[in-house]
Amino acid sequence: MSLRMDFGGYKGTAPRVRVRRRAELGRRLTRRLSMVAKVPAAILQRTNQPDPKPIEITAIGPDKTQLTLGAISPGPVSALVAPVLLKYRVCRPRLLLAGSRAEVDPAADVSLLRGEVLLIEDAARQYNSIGDTDRRYRATEKLLHTEDEYHEILCSAKELYSRPLARNHPEYHDIIFKPLENLANVSGDLCQRIQQTLDNWSADKCKLSELFPASFWSSYWQYLEDYVDSRRTLDTLKATDDPVIDFLRLRQAAARYSPSSLLLLPIVKHGINFSHIFQMN
């Protein structure tokens, strides 16, 4: 009796054991196959990564001393300048290209700075004590600081893009960058008016509205009309893979602002609504 029971138990359990083992074996094979499938992708990703390369970048520190900074490419500019910012206790860092004074993108790869001189400045501003008790004076000071930085960005476009484009592709210079050059002059005049107002400050007689005459706004509306043509030209060049686009990309390198973002900057800064013009054109 016991033999039959044992034999019967064996016959009853054997199929289930085999099914279970097959299931476990299948899961193991699936896992291993999935790992094998991932290996080529991991190897390909590793082989596509560029080999680290040591480079040296020439920089001018906040105290105007020349520095030679070692870096590894690929790597961001922010990591390159971090020790300098810490050493000089820079409160508001500003990174510029020495030749054009164009702002540098901190996330750009350090290799894009090869051949350039990097300016490391502290953009923290000093305020006049008059503003401690006169809120309008302090607001005017801040307006001057903001406009001055904006004016420098517009001027940097001339050295970084405009002049090289005029030499190599003169047919596109006026339609793309001439409007920005005109606005740079308008912004420079505004900075002078603000500075004169601060130098001859009179809380009773000062009228901030006089800083923005009708000619100022007329210049921006003219720029708005020119912007449509400038942007359309850039879009056409991109769509046709024109060599001009490659030239501008090479000029940009580590700079923060591309030609498209520079053209859009005046509109974003002054909050001009231009959507209806695009609908009309």
When the pLDDT of each residue in the chain is averaged and rounded to a whole number, the result is 84
Strand order in the sheet with 53-60: 66-73, 53-60, 117-122, 93-97
pLDDT tens digits for range 59-96: 999 999 999 999 999 999 999 999 999 999 999 999 99
Q: How many angstroms separate the Cα of 256 from the Cα of each of 46, 68, 75?
A: 29, 22, 16
pLDDT band, very low/low/confident/very high, at 144 (cuts 50, 70, 90):
very high
The set of residues, in sequence order, having a beta carbon less than 8 Å from that of 28 and lying 6+ positions away, is: none
Question: DSSP 3-state assignment of 98?
Answer: coil
Angle at 218 between CA 214 and CA 220, to 5 degrees: 125
Percent of the chain with pLDDT over 70: 78
Over residues 129-142, mean pLDDT: 93
pLDDT tens digits for range 238-259: 999 999 999 999 999 999 999 9
CATH number of 130-281: 1.20.900.10
Check residues 12 and 198 and name the one with the higher pLDDT. Answer: 198
Over residues 119-141, mean pLDDT: 93
pLDDT band, very low/low/confident/very high, at 9 (cuts 50, 70, 90):
very low
pLDDT band, very low/low/confident/very high, at 207 (cuts 50, 70, 90):
confident
Q: Whole-structure pTM over 0.85, yes or no? A: no
pLDDT at residue 179, as a whole number? 95
Statement: residue 20 has pLDDT above 70: no
Which fold would CATH assign to domain 51-124? Ubiquitin-like (UB roll) (3.10.20)
pLDDT at residue 278, as a whole number? 36
pLDDT at residue 88, as a whole number? 95
Are the CB atoms for 255 and 105 separated by under 8 Å?
A: yes
Which tokens go with 174?
Answer: 């006026």
pLDDT at residue 32, as a whole number? 55
